[in-house]
Amino acid sequence: MAPRHFTRYLVVGAVFLFVIIIFSSSSTTSRAGVIDVLQYPEAIRDKIPTITVPNSLRWSFQSSPHKPPDQRNSTHDGSSWYSDWKWLNPFSSSVTLDQDRIVLPPLHERPPIYTFYDASAKADQETKKIDKEFLLSWRRAWWAHGFRPVVLTDAEAMSHPLYQTLHAKGMPATLEQDFREWLAWAHMGTGLFASRYCLPMAPYDDALLSHLRRGQFSHLTKFQGLGSGLFAGEKSQIEDALKSALNSVKLSAFKTITDAIDSDRFKTEQPTSLAHYDPKTVASKYPVLAELIAKEPNKGRCSLLKLMQAHLHMTWQNTFSTGIVVLQPLAAHTFTLVKPSMDLARLLAECPSSILQSACPPNRPKCTPCTGSKLTVNTASAFRNTSSLFTIAVVPHPYTMITLTNLTTDISVAHIRRNTDRDPWITAVTRDILGDARGGPSRVVSLKDAAASEYGSSRSLWFTTEHFPASFYSPPPPPKSPTNDRPVEEKTAPFPEDWLEHIDWHFGFRIPRTTISHGESLPPVPGPERWAKIPAGLPAERKKAHEPDPPTEEAAAIEVELLRQARETINSKEEVVLKIREVAEAWNLADTEAWKFVKSFRARQVVERLKFEEEESAFETGAARGNSRWWGS
Q: Is 503 in the site for ligand NAG (CB under 6 A)?
A: no
Binding mask 423-442 for ligand NAG (x = CB under 6 A): ----------x---------
Length of the chain: 633
- Containing 242, the helix (H) or strand (E) segment is helix 235-246
Q: Is 407 in the site for ligand NAG (CB under 6 A)?
A: yes
Taking the least distance from each CB to ligand NAG, the nearer of 207 and 407 is 407
450 near 385, Cβ under 8 Å? yes
- Amino acid in the structure at residue 280: K
Q: β-pairing, 191-194 with 198-200?
A: unpaired
Residue 605 CB, shortest distance to ligand NAG, in Å, is: 11
Reduced to 3 states (helix: H, G, I; strand: E, B; else coil), residue 3 is helix
Residue 273 CB, shortest distance to ligand NAG, in Å, is: 20
Q: Is 619 in the site for ligand NAG (CB under 6 A)?
A: no
Angle ∠(410,413,415) on CA atoms, nearest 5? 70
Residue 466 CB, shortest distance to ligand NAG, in Å, is: 18
Q: What values do phi and psi take at 418, rounded to 5? A: -90, -40
Q: Is 607 in the site for ligand NAG (CB under 6 A)?
A: yes
Among the listed ranges 85-93, 232-240, 253-261, 604-612, the one in contact with ligand NAG (CB under 6 A) is 604-612
Among the listed ranges 27-35, 372-380, 503-511, 608-616, the one in contact with ligand NAG (CB under 6 A) is 608-616
82 near 104, Cβ under 8 Å? yes
Among the listed ranges 199-207, 467-475, 587-595, 610-618, the one in contact with ligand NAG (CB under 6 A) is 610-618
Taking the least distance from each CB to ligand NAG, the nearer of 229 and 456 is 456
Taking the least distance from each CB to ligand NAG, the nearer of 280 and 611 is 611
Nearest Cα to 539, choosing from 345, 374, 380?
374
426 near 416, Cβ under 8 Å? no
Distance CA 629, CA 611 (A): 24
Q: Is 415 in the site for ligand NAG (CB under 6 A)?
A: yes
Q: What values do phi and psi take at 116, rounded to 5? A: -110, 135
Among the listed ranges 25-33, 107-115, 248-256, 446-454, the one in contact with ligand NAG (CB under 6 A) is 446-454
Distance CA 332, CA 133 (A): 44
Q: What values do phi and psi take at 325, rounded to 5? A: -125, 135
User: Applying CB under 6 A, what is the total number of residues that bind ligand NAG?
Assistant: 17
Residue 201 CB, shortest distance to ligand NAG, in Å, is: 23
Taking the least distance from each CB to ligand NAG, the nearer of 382 and 538 is 382
Among the listed ranges 52-60, 320-328, 606-614, 619-627, the one in contact with ligand NAG (CB under 6 A) is 606-614
Reduced to 3 states (helix: H, G, I; strand: E, B; else coil), residue 300 is helix
Beta bridge partners of 192: 113, 232
> Edge to edge, what strands does the sheet with 101-104 contain?
75-76, 79-83, 101-104
Q: How far is CA 219 from CA 179, 236, 240, in A?
A: 19, 10, 12
Binding mask 24-63 for ligand NAG (x = CB under 6 A): ----------------------------------------
Q: Is 449 in the site for ligand NAG (CB under 6 A)?
A: yes
Considering only residues 453 to 492 of the shown chain, the ones binding ligand NAG according to CB under 6 A are: 455-456
Q: Is 574 in the site for ligand NAG (CB under 6 A)?
A: no
Give 503's contacts (C-beta < 8 A, 6+ positions apart): 344, 461, 511
Please, what's the b/e burial string for 44-77 (b: 16 or more CB within 10 A of its CB; e: otherwise)?
eebeeeebbbbbbebbbeebeeeebeeeeebbbe
Residue selected from 419, 471, 474, 571 as contacting ligand NAG according to rule CB under 6 A: 419
Distance CA 531, CA 520 (A): 11
Nearest Cα to 604, choosing from 75, 44, 14?
75
Taking the least distance from each CB to ligand NAG, the nearer of 321 and 386 is 386
Residue 5 CB, shortest distance to ligand NAG, in Å, is: 56
Residue 456 CB, shortest distance to ligand NAG, in Å, is: 6
Residue 205 CB, shortest distance to ligand NAG, in Å, is: 10
Taking the least distance from each CB to ligand NAG, the nearer of 439 and 512 is 439
Taking the least distance from each CB to ligand NAG, the nearer of 21 and 618 is 618
Considering only residues 547 to 566 of the shown chain, the ones binding ligand NAG according to CB under 6 A are: none
Q: Is 610 in the site for ligand NAG (CB under 6 A)?
A: yes
Residue 74 CB, shortest distance to ligand NAG, in Å, is: 9
Residue selected from 109, 432, 614, 620 as contacting ligand NAG according to rule CB under 6 A: 614
Distance CA 173, CA 190 (A): 26
- Containing 391, the helix (H) or strand (E) segment is strand 389-395
Residue 582 CB, shortest distance to ligand NAG, in Å, is: 19
Q: Is 611 in the site for ligand NAG (CB under 6 A)?
A: yes
Q: What values do phi and psi take at 384, rounded to 5? A: -115, 135
Residue 615 CB, shortest distance to ligand NAG, in Å, is: 9
Give CA 565 to chain center in angstroms.
29
Among the listed ranges 166-174, 192-200, 292-300, 609-617, the one in contact with ligand NAG (CB under 6 A) is 609-617
Taking the least distance from each CB to ligand NAG, the nearer of 234 and 608 is 608
Residue 172 CB, shortest distance to ligand NAG, in Å, is: 44
Residue 115 CB, shortest distance to ligand NAG, in Å, is: 24
Please, what's the b/e burial string for 279-311 (b: 16 or more CB within 10 A of its CB; e: otherwise)?
eebbeebbeebbebbeeeeeebbbbbbbbbbbb
Taking the least distance from each CB to ligand NAG, the nearer of 282 and 330 is 330
Distance CA 216, CA 207 (A): 14
Question: What number of helices (H) and strands (E) belong to the chain?
Answer: 27, 17
Taking the least distance from each CB to ligand NAG, the nearer of 533 and 611 is 611
Q: 173-188 and 235-246 helices cross at what angle (nearest 10)?
A: 150
Distance CA 511, CA 137 (A): 12
Q: Is 612 in the site for ligand NAG (CB under 6 A)?
A: no
E strand intervals along 99-256: 101-104, 112-116, 148-152, 191-194, 198-200, 220-223, 230-233
Residue 457 CB, shortest distance to ligand NAG, in Å, is: 11
Residue selected from 406, 458, 565, 572 as contacting ligand NAG according to rule CB under 6 A: 406
Considering only residues 361 to 400 of the shown chain, the ones binding ligand NAG according to CB under 6 A are: 385
Q: Is 417 in the site for ligand NAG (CB under 6 A)?
A: no
Taking the least distance from each CB to ligand NAG, the nearer of 20 and 407 is 407
Q: What values do phi and psi take at 64, rounded to 5? A: -70, 150
Q: Which residues bind ligand NAG (CB under 6 A)?
A: 72-73, 385, 406-407, 415, 419, 433, 446, 449-450, 455-456, 607, 610-611, 614
